[in-house]
Amino acid sequence: MAKFGRFFLWLFASIGALVALGLAGIIVAATRFQPAAPEVPDKTVLMLDLSTPLSEKRDSGGFLPSSVQEPVLLDVIEALEHARNDDRIEAVVAELGQTGLGVGRTQELREAISRFRESGKPALIYSEDLGSFGGGMLDYYLASAFSEIWVQPSGGVGLTGLALESPYFAGALEKLDITPRFEQRHEYKGGAESLTRTGMSLPVRQSMERMVDGWMAQIVRDLETDRPKLTGQVTSLIDNGPYLAHDAWTTGLVDKLAYPDEWETEIRNRFNMDLLDAMTVGEYLAANGFQPKDENGNFRPATHIALIYGVGTIMPDEGGDGAWNDSTFGPYEVAQALREAREDATIEGVLMRIDSPGGAYPQADMVWREIKQLRDAGKPVVAVMGDVAASGGYFAAMAADYVVARPGTVTGSIGVYSGKFVTEGLWNSLGIQWDRVQSGRNAGMWSMVSDFTPTELAKFREFLDFVYQDFTSKAAKDRELSMPQIDKAARGRIWTGEDAIQIGLVDELGGMAEAERALTRLMNLKEDSPLSRTVLPAQPSALERLEMLLGSDDPLQWIATKAIHQTVKSQAESVLGDLSAFTPQAGLVQMPPMRVAD
Q: Report whether 58 contacts 23 (CB < 8 A).
A: no
DSSP class of residue 391 equals T
Q: What is the CA radius of gyration of the chain?
A: 26
Angle, in degrees to the nearest 10, between helices 136-143 and 202-226:
30
The residues that are catalytic are 189, 391
According to DSSP, the residues that pair with 49 across neighbouring strands are: 95
- Angle at 388 (CA atoms; ends 382, 370), nearest 5 degrees: 40
Query: CA 67 → CA 30, 58, 79, 102, 448, distances in Å?
Result: 12, 15, 16, 30, 52
> What is the per-residue DSSP string for 101-160?
--HHHHHHHHHHHHHHHTTT--EEEEES-BSTTTTHHHHHHHHTTSSEEEE-TT-EE---
In sequence order, the 6+-apart residues with CB closer than 8 A to the CB of 182 are 191, 192, 195, 196, 417, 418, 419, 420
Give the count of beta carbons closer than 10 Å to the beta carbon of residue 493.
27
**Alpha carbon distance 193, 492 (integer Å):** 12
In sequence order, the 6+-apart residues with CB closer than 8 A to the CB of 69 are 58, 61, 75, 282, 286
**Alpha carbon distance 479, 129 (integer Å):** 44
> What is the per-residue DSSP string for 546-582?
HHHHHTSS-HHHHHHHHHHHHHHHHHHHHHH---GGG
**Alpha carbon distance 285, 75 (integer Å):** 8
Dihedral sign, CA of 451, 454, 458, 459?
Answer: negative
- Going by their DSSP bridges, the two strands 589-590 and 358-359 should be labelled as antiparallel
Give the count of beta carbons closer than 10 Å to the beta carbon of residue 284.
27
